[in-house]
Structure 1
Amino acid sequence: MASSRSRWIGLLFISLAISLVIIDGTIVNTIFPEIISGLGLTSTEVQWVQESYVLIFAATLLIWGSLADRFGRRLVLLIGIVIFVAASVWAGSADSAESLILARVIQGFGGAMVLPTTLSLVNANFQGKERGIAFAVWGSTIGGMVAVGPVLGGWLATDFTWRWAFLINVPLGLLIFGGLVLYVTESKAPGAKQGIDWVGALLSMVLFGPLVFGLIEGRVYGWWLVNPQSNFQVGTLMWPAEGISVIPLSLGIAVVAGVAFVWWETRRARNNQGVLLDLKLYRIPSFRNGTIAALIISMGEFGLIFAIPLWLQNVIGMTPIGAGLVLLFLAGGAFVASGVGGALSGKLPAARAVQLGVGLEIVGIVGFGLVASTTTGWAAIAPFLFLYGVGVGLATAQLTGVIMVDVPMDKTGQGSGSQSTARQVGSALGIAVIGTVLFTGTQASLEDRLATLAIPATAQVGIVEAVVDSAGGVIPGLVDSLTAQSVELSLAEEIQEASGQALTDGARSASFFAAGFLVLGLLASFRLGAKPSAAPPARARKSATPTT
């Protein structure tokens, strides 16, 4: 076991490693206009620049977590950093849409190697109260960096070039790699054998890739029938413009693969063969109940982050960088939570800390929904963002500790990959549902408001479609656009005001819906044990001894 000082320095580099991955998942959202201008991307290519990373990331988390148990958690983490940095160089120097999309695919592989291995290394290198503090730092880093990504991307794209949003990973990656080598001790499951479960790995990718794709893109391509305005396309292959959408097929493939995965893993375990995921982990109450709570809570946690930047930019009139800076209040709250979580470790049962965190998230989301209006400034929502950030930091860290506390040390990679995948699926489902609520609520409100202005039905359809399809992006320029079509200035201003109010109504509805998910997550958290877990048994501690 490394010295206490080395382990805490190692935790710093582990946290930096997870920061690299989390930031890259959100940083592209603010640099898309510059990428589109520089590479001439089509709308379909823009979608795949983002989705290619997310899909590969979600589809392979479980695989790398399991392989890390076998071959070494630090080794897999280091390989992941190398792949991630190399792909970042590729992305930063890409001269075509195809090149950038392929680079994002490789980044997804590298990122998926980093997330579960950082968690399993924290779990392996810290015990007792120290583990609670370490989880607080790890979880708060995730919560904070989700908000930092858009700010960093906006700054780099505005003051430098969008390419630096990727190339910045090179010096950071080299620093992290060196720190991991010097201060993080290797650990892996002792006596790992029985062969690699290649079929299980393939089935898990076929399960989670189409599942996450279907949940994220259902609103775009149509949940059942084809959306004629957004036809699914991969390269030169295009889905038929009529009939059943690609989404039912995608979700159907996921269901079939899920059944096959459970059958295959059960069969291999019965024959005493190596498995990708030991399904017996779900017999552990803390792991099973914690994973369910994490999935539900993740459905609500990203609702606020999804809706607020759109509202700040398109209704309040802030720049992308300005909107990102407002989200730093959320990041600040998450980092404060690391100190609070560390102080509470050993004093407050982890399940109670989770409930406290989720409660603060609910207050933050509901508070935004209550104060948001077309005349509300950023200062009015900043306190609620801060509370929300504290809640995210507390809930993420402490819930992770609850999930992992009783997992055998030789299964921590599997456990880490499983709970990380559950969070990704929950986030995708939450974004799908909350995004639908946001745009459906905006559409219904705008239709009502335009009707009161006596706008002809045919004109209403065009305005509503423009506002909803652009996620409110056309609102700031509506007056100029309408007056250019010979609409009176006073009426154009009223339509713009109505559009802003409608998007606000949609954002408020989305926030209340997200709060509803979090309430369900809060209720689910009461199934978690209220008592602090005892120290791991001697046998488990022995298996946790790092190997070099």
Structure 2
Amino acid sequence: MHTPSVPDRRRWAGLVVISVAVSLIIVDSTIVNVAIPSIVADLDIDSTLVQWVQESYTLVFAALLLVFGSLADRYGRRRLLTIGVSVFVAASVLAAIAPTGDLLVAARILQGLGGAMVLPTTLSLVNATFTGRERGIAFAVWGSTIGGMVAVGPLLGGWLTTDFSWRWAFGINVPLGIAIVVGAFFTVRESRDTAHAGGIDVVGAVLSVLTSASLVFGLIEGRTYGWWTPAERFRVGGWAWPAGTSPIPFAFALTIVAGIAFVAWSRRRQRSGRSTLIALDLFRIGSFRNGSIAALIVSLGEFGIVLSLPLWLQNVLGYSALQTGFVLLALAIGSFVASGFAATAGQRIGPLPIVRIGIAAEIVGVAAIGFVVSADTPWWAVVPCLFVYGFGVGLATAQLTGVVLQDVPVERSGEASGAQSTARQIGSALGIAVLGTVLFTSTGGLVQQRLEDAGTPSGVASRVSDAVVTSSGGAIAGLRERDAATADVAATAFSDGTRAAAWSAAGFLVLGLAATLRLRRPDPTPDEQPTARSAASPA
């Protein structure tokens, strides 16, 4: 393992390469959202397949983060980074040329595989390459890139889809991926965990995948298939889930059983001195344990609102995909501005206060969105809110990661990075599930109630409500052509649902801010000491 003790300018060039690699996978997780209508029209896929196009990537991505974080430590972080990017690029080519929806879903699954190799690897490379104050600056760049790309994805996807084709939303990954692989060989030093190298815990890996995949599936699909009683029948190819039951309770039961088995198995292997996928003694480190809990809660509030805003901008305000991307660009600008602020202020006051300032800014920005949202809100009223929110994301994402890993031995940063990344992904999935449920449940109930109050027959009101919810607001445009009054009711209800989602997100962020109160600021040390301190940390 290489830990720099003298200035090395290549490390900063390597940070640029690492940040671009993060951008590649983060953009892809958001770029597809604005391309979905074009994909549906071109490939003629049904609503079930549409969901799998969007969610198969997230499902595989979250399930494998822990596995690949551990593999990176053992077999080389740069090696796994380049393999992951290569797999991701190959999958992007398959997605770009996919002639059917089924093949597109298969390509998205392969993209999730490659993405899961990249994210924890980039994080552990930053942790292993930089020390002291430089590590804080590097984490600020890494985290701000994630926050900014969440907003740049819809803008890039809107432009490519509008001016070219949805296929270019995947094709753009090819030149970027080639540049990353070449750049990594010249600027990123290889590092690995030589102290804990050993055989892979295959049983632990399988149990980890089962736990993560079943949990994320249940959180994402609960609203679609029914949290307890079946709302829609789950199908994979020609096979269908048994009628009369929902797969979601089974998924959560599998999560509990596999999770308990994973912990028991890992403790047994650890007591016998054998390698484990993640050493449970990492959770004895207070900063790692409490920081991971805070990261999960914060992610729940952060990424859930990104689901509802593009839908509201396009389906209620009538903006195009490209115009929506421009509005969301304010979030990216705020996030990039935050990186400069974090780099300077972090040296004076430390990373933990920066985290708290960032979460507080997110709360202000998201709550402000809730106040300004309406069926006739002008775009400029949303932009300042998004900027403040993005500024907070840029501060909190990077510095919270640094706080989580501050006491973790550098040689074990891959498994720790995979664990905290998995916590973030679970939080994101939970945010999408909870805030999506708030958005659509509120919208559907308000549409039906207000139409009935206006004298519309209950059956008609119910059909209109179902159409608005099922189309995620897309039916509002068609209603405007046939019945302007009904369309106004639907648009107002969707705006109210978006407001409820925004305020719910702010509430979760308040809980995340409260969770950081259990974190403690590290003692100040010279730049050279963190490496020694990490090496001496309990393992």
TM bracket (short chain): over 0.9
Residue in structure 2 matched with residue 212 of structure 1 by the alignment: 216
Q: Secondary structure at the match of 1:345?
A: helix
Offset of 1:222 from its aligned partner?
0.3
Residue in structure 1 matched with residue 52 of structure 2 by the alignment: 48
Residue in structure 2 matched with residue 489 of structure 1 by the alignment: none
Offset of 1:538 from its aligned partner?
5.5
User: Please, which of 496, 504, 507 is the counterpart of residue 516 of structure 1?
Assistant: 507
Q: Secondary structure at the match of 1:192?
A: coil
Residue in structure 1 matched with residue 361 of structure 2 by the alignment: 360
**TM-score under structure 2 normalisation?**
0.96
Residue in structure 1 matched with residue 484 of structure 2 by the alignment: 493
Task: Encode CA deviations 1:386-423: one digit per residue, 9 max, x unaligned.
Answer: 00000001000110000001001121001000000000
CA distance in 1, matches of 2:166, 2:307: 22
Q: Secondary structure at the match of 1:302?
A: helix
CA distance in 1, matches of 2:389, 2:81: 30
CA contact (8 A) 2:82 2:181 kept: yes
Task: Encode CA deviations 1:312-359: one digit per residue, 9 max, x unaligned.
Answer: 111111112111210000011011111111111221121111110000
The letter of the residue matching 1:365 is V
**TM-score under structure 1 normalisation?**
0.94
Listed as ranges, the matches of 1:70-109 within 5 Å are: 70-109=74-113
CA distance in 1, matches of 2:74, 2:104: 32
Listed as ranges, the matches of 1:353-392 within 5 Å are: 353-392=354-393
Offset of 1:513 from its aligned partner?
0.6
Residue in structure 2 matched with residue 234 of structure 1 by the alignment: 236
CA distance in 1, matches of 2:15, 2:245: 49
Q: Does 1:8 align with 2:12?
A: yes
User: Please, which of 500, 505, 517 is the counterpart of residue 526 of structure 1?
Assistant: 517
The letter of the residue matching 2:285 is I
Q: Does 1:503 align with 2:504?
A: no
Residue in structure 1 matched with residue 271 of structure 2 by the alignment: 270
CA contact (8 A) 1:210 1:253 kept: yes
CA contact (8 A) 1:350 1:401 kept: yes
The letter of the residue matching 2:239 is L
Q: Does 1:394 align with 2:385?
A: no
Offset of 1:95 from its aligned partner?
1.6
Which shifted more, 120-129 or 48-57?
48-57
Residue in structure 2 matched with residue 335 of structure 1 by the alignment: 336
The letter of the residue matching 1:128 is G
Task: Encode CA deviations 1:352-384: one digit per residue, 9 max, x unaligned.
Answer: 111100000000011011111112111001000
CA distance in 2, matches of 1:245, 1:420: 29
Q: Secondary structure at the match of 2:196?
A: coil
Q: Secondary structure at the match of 1:31?
A: helix
Q: Secondary structure at the match of 1:529?
A: coil
Listed as ranges, the matches of 1:148-547 within 5 Å are: 148-227=152-231, 230-241=232-243, 243-481=244-482, 492-532=483-523, 534=525, 536=529, 539=532
Offset of 1:466 from its aligned partner?
1.1
CA distance in 1, matches of 2:117, 2:16: 18
Offset of 1:539 from its aligned partner?
4.2
Task: Encode CA deviations 1:181-220: one digit per residue, 9 max, x unaligned.
Answer: 1001011112333311111111100110111010011001
What is the root-mean-square deviation of aligned Cα atoms in Å?
Answer: 1.6
CA distance in 2, matches of 1:209, 1:418: 14
CA distance in 1, matches of 2:33, 2:257: 33
Which shifted more, 42-51 or 502-511?
42-51
CA distance in 2, matches of 1:280, 1:375: 53
% same residue? 54
CA contact (8 A) 1:189 1:543 kept: no
The letter of the residue matching 1:508 is R
CA distance in 1, matches of 2:113, 2:188: 22
CA distance in 1, matches of 2:385, 2:163: 30
Q: Secondary structure at the match of 2:347?
A: coil
Task: Encode CA deviations 1:244-294: one digit per residue, 9 max, x unaligned.
Answer: 201111111111100000001100000000000011000000000000000
Which shifted more, 463-472 or 245-254?
463-472
CA distance in 1, matches of 2:106, 2:13: 34
The letter of the residue matching 1:298 is S
CA distance in 1, matches of 2:143, 2:391: 11
The letter of the residue matching 1:528 is L
The letter of the residue matching 2:386 is L
| Residues 506 and 533 (structure 1), Cα distance of their counterparts in 2 relative to 1, 3 Å cut | farther
Unpaired runs of 5+ residues, structure 2, are none
Size of the alignment, in residue pairs?
531
Offset of 1:161 from its aligned partner?
1.5
CA distance in 2, matches of 1:207, 1:306: 24
CA distance in 1, matches of 2:455, 2:15: 62
| Residues 61 and 447 (structure 1), Cα distance of their counterparts in 2 relative to 1, 3 Å cut | same
| Residues 412 and 276 (structure 1), Cα distance of their counterparts in 2 relative to 1, 3 Å cut | same
Offset of 1:479 from its aligned partner?
3.2
Offset of 1:530 from its aligned partner?
3.1
Unpaired runs of 5+ residues, structure 1, are 482-491
CA distance in 2, matches of 1:96, 1:371: 41
CA distance in 2, matches of 1:290, 1:121: 19
Residue in structure 1 matched with residue 34 of structure 2 by the alignment: 30
The letter of the residue matching 1:415 is A
Which shifted more, 130-139 or 314-323?
314-323
CA distance in 1, matches of 2:508, 2:29: 23
Offset of 1:26 from its aligned partner?
1.1
The letter of the residue matching 1:495 is T
